[in-house]
Structure 1
Amino acid sequence: MSTRPRRETMSPAIEDTMFFTRLRRHAKWMFVFLALVFALGFVGFGVGAGGVGIGDVFRGSGGGGASVSDARKATEERPADPEAWQELATVLQADGDVAGAIAAQQRVVELRPNDPDALRELAALHFAVAAEKQQELQQLQAEAAVAGAGQNLPRPSVGGTEIGGDAVGQAVNATASEEIATVATEGQAALAAALDAYGQLAALQPNDPSVQLELAQAAIQAGELDTAIAAYERFLVLAPDDPSATDVRRQLKQLRAAAAG
């Protein structure tokens, strides 16, 4: 996994007062899920407890709309109707099919490129994938730690020669390392896709200071400190007297130090 810049501890004030508030207003059905995603802390893909899978979160979020088959049929009958694709994305989320929901939501964005809510929802779905990869990574790391500890246990021997030995341990470690690297790469790719969606949103609404805060937070999660710095700087140009400006300046100082270090 590639080395990322050191991440400083960031104050939650801006995210609590602006970022999540705006997400709640523009993508209500995704808010609780996004709160879970950010709580996991993606940038380091650190070790932590596992938990409920992303599909379980979506399946437990309710729904009550059209069935997946009905929604798919609607998109076949009206392939240029963004509402049909949005309905499909929604029911696929409720069914736990995040990959399918991303494909449908991407179609919504293609049909409605100037819809900020569609871009926010697409970003949220990519964050969903990143959250699932985070959980997978934690599980793999835990399993690798257990396997590594097992390599240090006394081994049975025949005629004074150990059965197993380093070859077994090396094979186990190599397999675990490859799986961990793959999952970490997939998670980082999902974060990059979410950041791309926020970049499109910022291009669509370049003079909206709240969008700059959202872009900065997405960039922090993806480990793109330069993008986060630029977004926070843009926010201060657009809203220098905003109540959040003090927190932004403090976080900018931390980000610049992290990027320089």
Structure 2
Amino acid sequence: MSPSQETTAWVLIVTCDSVPGIVAAFSRTLFETGGNIIEMNQYNDVANGQFFMRIYFTHPGGMSDDGLHAELAAVAGRFGAMWSLRNTAVRQKVLIMVSRFDHCLADLLYRWRIGELHMDPVAIVSNHPVEACGQVDMGTIPFHHLPITPQTKTMQEDRLRELIGQTGAELVVLARYMQILSDELSRELAGRCINIHHSFLPGFKGARPYHQAHRRGVKLIGATAHYVTADLDEGPIIEQSVERISHSDTAEDLIRKGRDIESRALSRAVHYHLDGRVIMHGMRTVVFGD
């Protein structure tokens, strides 16, 4: 088999008004161009008349990538659909930001090294020196110390923008980065910046959420991974994880248990994003889990 005929795996995402014939039209086009559908997920939001679809398929490469794009674009045009097509062989470049708590960073890098997260970490950014994450094996991933104060916030974010541009980062992950991004930067990174909030949103927002939960005597604590927006901790939720606790747990016990659920929720959200399983739907998301 020549290189031009090697089978390639693709992820197709489609969003449009819900009308009959969408699935049939895209499926027929993929079949007629030689594609083979491996997995298909769809959701029809009846209340809002919106349709969402994810198709994972392989293609033998008998036609050029441009040709495949053209065929799918023609179908999308018939339905006025927003759509995207991604070659799964191309790893997405990811920039990870962290402060003093490094458990989420360590978990992401571990899952990347064992092949669970299909990404290329291009930079690690922290507002603290590298010694703050001294227990994490960063390997050859470049580390950037970008200290920040209220007076230097604008300059720090300008430097961050430069790094994102220089590295070609397609996704920014706030792995317990304990600084609030400006409204401007949040808007620039819309749909490609994931934060882990150490609480079960929408409850217990802001500082010291585990202490808030302890004072309220909750029986479940959680962590929420969501897209960053200009509204603090209000972005579309991708994944949440919970842990049962009891009256005998202290605030410190909640923090300890919280480290596990934070790592779990964030890694799953990053995986879903990288795998093209998350579709933005206003202030909500459609997540096609695997």
Q: What's the TM-score bracket when you normalise by the shorter of the two chains?
A: under 0.3
Q: TM-score, normalised by structure 2?
A: 0.25
Q: TM-score, normalised by structure 1?
A: 0.27
- Which is helix-richer, 1 or 2? 1
